[in-house]
Every structure is written in C-alpha cells, then in structure tokens.
Amino acid sequence: TRRQHAPKGLRSPPGPRGLPMLGSVLELRKDPHLVLTRLSRKYGDVMEVTIGSRPVVVLSGLETIKQALVRQAEDFMGRPDLYSFRHVTDGQSLTFSTDTGEMWKARRKLAQNALKTFSIAASPTASSSCLLEEHVTKEASYLVTKFLQLMEEKQSFDPYRYMVVSVANVICAICFGKRYDHDDQELLSVVNVVDEFVDVTAAGNPADFIPLLRYLPSRNMDSFLDFNKRFMKLLQTAVEEHYQTFDKNNIRDVTDSLIEQCVEKKAEANGATQIPNEKIINLVNDIFGAGFDTVTTALSWSLMYLVTYPHMQKKIQAELDQTIGRERRPRLSDRGMLPYTEAFILEMFRHSSFMPFTIPHSTTRDTVLNGYYIPKDRCVFINQWQVNHDEKLWKDPQAFNPERFLNAEGTEVNKVDAEKVMTFGLGKRRCIGENIGKWEVFLFLSTLLQQLEFSIQDGKKADMTPIYGLSMKHKRCEHFQVKKRFSMKSSN
C-alpha cells in the first residue's frame, strides 16, 4: 500500500509529506483528532497523511464527509484490513471485518431486525411502550437505590463502575433475556477492561501501521487479546444455553431470533445469500460489544458535565418537575417534551465528541472525491471531532452551551443544528444502534435526575481531560455524591 501516483489529470490529496516514519506515529499517538484537525486547516477536507508505512486519507468538513459516506456511499463503505481488527470475533465481526459484499449486507439486516424486535418495537404488553423502556427503567431505578446506599456507606463513589453494569444489563436483557448481578465476576472481568479494547481499536493504533511493532511485546495488545478471549467465552456460554432451550414457538430474545434465522435458512435451502450459521450467531457479539461501552461512556460524560455545570442540572430538573412531575417515572414518550434535556444531551455528544473518529473506513474501488484521486483499499479516517468543533458550523465551538440548540423561547430543539452533530457516522456504515443509544441515554439520565442531585465532594474537581481511544473516556472520578431530591410516593 505504498503511495501510488494518481492517473493523469488527477491529483492525489495534499498533506504533510516526508515526515519521518516514526515521527508521524509518535505525533499522532497523543490526541490524533486534535493533530489531524489542525492539519486539516492547512491541507483541507481531503488530505493524506502517512502513518508508519501506510497512507491514510483523512476526511473533515460535514459536506465533504456527506459527499463521501452518503453520495458516494458504495466507494467509501469498506473497512481496512488492520492487524487489530483481525482479532475481533476471530476476524468475522460485522463491524470490524473487511466484508462489504452481499453477505455483509444480509448480516447487517439480520442484526438490525433482531435488535429492533427486542428493543424499540412496540411492546405487546401494556406496562411499557417497548422492551427497551422496561429494561432501562428497571436498571435506572436500581442505580438510584445503589447510589443512595453508597452515599450512606462511603460518602462518595465512582458512578462509572455501576453504570457500566447497568448498561450492560440492558443489552444483556435484549440479547440473552438475562441480567447479571452487579458483583458478577465473569461480567465484571469483561466490562471493566474495555479500556484496552478502545485503546487498540482506535484510529491510528501504531501496531496497525508499523508491522514491526506486532513482533514486540506489548502490554496493551496482550490485554486486548485477553479481552477478546474473555468476551467470546462469556457470549459463547450464553449462546450454548440458548441452543439447548430453543423453542421456535417462543422466541425470547435476540439470540433466539438469530438461532431461528439459522433454522429457517436451512428450510428455504438455496436462498440468495447462504450465511454460515456461525456468522449469524456471532452477530450477537457485534450487538453486545457495541451496545454497552458507547452508552456507558455517554452517560458518564453526561454526569461529568452535570457536576461541572450545576445550573444546567437544576434546569433539567426544573423541566422534569414541570413536564413529568414527581408522581410518575419518565418514559421514552416524554422525550419530545423536554427540549432543554434534549439540548443538553446533544451538546454532550457534540462537545465531548467521545467517538472522535468513526471506526476506520476504506475505499472499495478507485474513486475521486472533491477532485482528488483516491485508489481502492485506501484507509480512510472520518474526523467527527473536527465536524463538531468546526467554526464554520458552530459559534464558539469550545464552549459547552446546550442553549445553542434551542430557539429563543427555549421551547424547541432546532432540527437543522441537531443534524449537524456527528456521533453515529453516516451512510452505509452508520451505527445500527443510534436510536437505542439516544433513547437509553435519555431515559437513564432523566430517571436518575428526577430523583437524585449529583455533585462532587467539596474541594475535589472533575477532571474532564479526554483519554484518546475509539471511544474517549475521562479519568475515573471517585468523588461523586448524590442527594435524594424527594420521596417517591409510589413506583410509577
């Protein structure tokens, strides 16, 4: 994948040339999203950098990114063959593998359908609007109790450790119809080491770009491989239990629904796409894996902003009191009636840009973008952070200001501005859990904030410095405190 010359009459994208091989890697090692945003000011929306021995096209600017991922969707829908990606789900991941053909399309559909049925599709029972609402309400109520209990025992605590299990339990309920205890060691050993996963799969991981590094001992890489092993094992156990108790007349969850697909596929023998059973069942890895870290990270950043800007927390709570009151719990259907809460969540996504890049893409064929020639199989980074902090799109982008999304009266979220926030990617690789993710963040937050007031222990500060990764986290903070806002008369 050395630099190739563009065909006659076409230019290759501009970019900093001739950086020493290790130089560019070391410079990019720290906050690549900031380094590449700075470089894009000089070289433009389509630029080429060399990382290690590999040329990478970096896309910035909302219009350019839309042009590539939406209007030229087929050209830019690939995934690069990266060393780290080969280890996710034994190289068969829907999300990280290089597949883009009919098989990939069919798998993505299967995953989307199974997920929808057991999350946001209208619920057959009347107790809640959908299963997602039921699961989140239950887990959020558990968190309220847990946080209050921790306050009594320890006077302060780190909410992340508990939220990650609650969020994992929501996706677990959807995938496996079960929930784990907050002290379950098997689950904790997976959800608590996700930091290594997001470190190694992040755009610009040196071992993906300098082959030599693969042969040197690396603690990060070892923990990453270990994480993948544990993760596969946790899921395999659940899948085996499902096979043993499978009943085609009682499809209980995503796993059952995927097993059903394997069975049905056999019945209609030579269907258009014959997907091996393993590649159907292991879709549950993609769903589970993508479903807990992202949402936990979003919630955790939300709490950090809330304790940093207490007047915003008060405003959300005033809105909740006014619209929902204190007699019942928030529901998903309240979402449209809580503009300030919605604006706060949008601003959290924009300002943190905790997924600074999408998962890396690659070109599926030779193509031309904004007049620049890009050959087939070129690795492409999509800089979401740049879009969310672009001065051409946002006034004072560094400021955290939910009101930027509201009309003057504060009664409505501006749809056009909301659409400019880049968090879930765009086009054919766009996140399949976008609605689930947004709704979960909304319902967890509104349920917690209706009942609890969050703060940081006197004299302590919340450190908001992001740590670079596929998803960026802040340092864990053990100084959170909560106060009960009032006593609920009944539970709903």
Numbered residues of the known binding site for heme? 431
Closest residue by Cα to residue 453 from 298, 304, 313, 311: 313
In the complex, least distance from residue 178 CB atom to ligand HEM, rounded to whole angstroms:
16
Taking the least distance from each CB to ligand HEM, the nearer of 87 and 429 is: 429
Q: Whose Cβ is closer to ligand HEM: residue 112's or residue 218's?
A: 112
Integer Cα distance of 367 and 225 in angstroms: 35
- The least CB distance from residue 112 to ligand HEM, in Å, is 9
Kindly list the distances between the CA atom of residue 385 and the CA atoms of 199, 376, 468, in Å, as whole numbers in the listed order: 17, 25, 12
Q: How far is the CB of 148 from ligand HEM (least distance, A)?
A: 26
Q: Is 261 within 8 Å of 117 (Cβ atoms)?
A: no
Q: CA 115, 119, 120 angle in degrees (round to 5)?
A: 110
> In whole angstroms, what is the distance from residue 419 CA to residue 403 CA?
15
122: β partners? 130
- Least distance between ligand HEM and beta carbon 150 (Å): 25
Coil/strand/helix, residue 381: strand
Closer residue to ligand HEM, CB minimum distance, 210 or 472: 472
Contact residues for ligand HEM, defined by CB under 6 A: 94-95, 108, 115, 171, 286-287, 290-291, 294-295, 298, 355, 358-359, 423-425, 429, 431-433, 436-437
The distance of closest approach from Cβ of residue 174 to ligand HEM in the complex, given in angstroms and rounded to an integer, is 7
- Please report the sign of the dihedral spanned by the C-alpha atoms of residue 288, residue 294, residue 295, residue 300: positive
Name the DSSP letter for residue 382.
E
Determine the distance from the C-alpha atom of residue 484 to the mean position of all C-alpha atoms in its chain, rounded to a whole number: 30
* Helix H or strand E segment including 225: helix 219-245
Smallest distance from ligand HEM to CB 12, Å: 23
Closest to 363 (Cα-Cα) out of 108, 134, 72: 72
Q: In the complex, what is the shortest distance from the CB of residue 380 to ligand HEM, in angstroms, rounded to a whole number?
A: 10
- Which residue, 150 or 256, has its beta carbon nearer to ligand HEM? 256
- Residue number, 62 or 456, with CB nearest to ligand HEM: 62
Q: CB neighbours of 181 closer than 8 A, spacing ≥ 6?
A: none
For residue 326, CA distances in Å to 115, 210, 366, 441 come to: 32, 57, 59, 20
Q: Which residue is nearest to ligand HEM (CB)?
A: 433
Residues tagged in the binding site annotation: 431
What's the sign of the alpha-carbon dihedral 238, 243, 245, 247?
Answer: positive
Q: In the complex, what is the shortest distance from the CB of residue 473 to ligand HEM, in angstroms, rounded to a whole number?
A: 13
Other residues' Cβ atoms within 10 Å of the Cβ of residue 196: 19
Smaller CB separation from ligand HEM, 75 or 150: 75
| Residues in CB range of 45: below 8 A, 6 or more apart | 59, 60, 61, 63, 64, 370
Please identify, using beta-carbon distances, which residue of 94 and 259 lies nearer to ligand HEM.
94
CA-CA-CA-CA torsion sign (300, 301, 306, 309): positive
d(C-alpha 21, C-alpha 19), whole Å: 6
150 vs 187 by CB, closer to ligand HEM: 187
Smallest distance from ligand HEM to CB 63, Å: 17
48/293 with CB nearer ligand HEM:
293
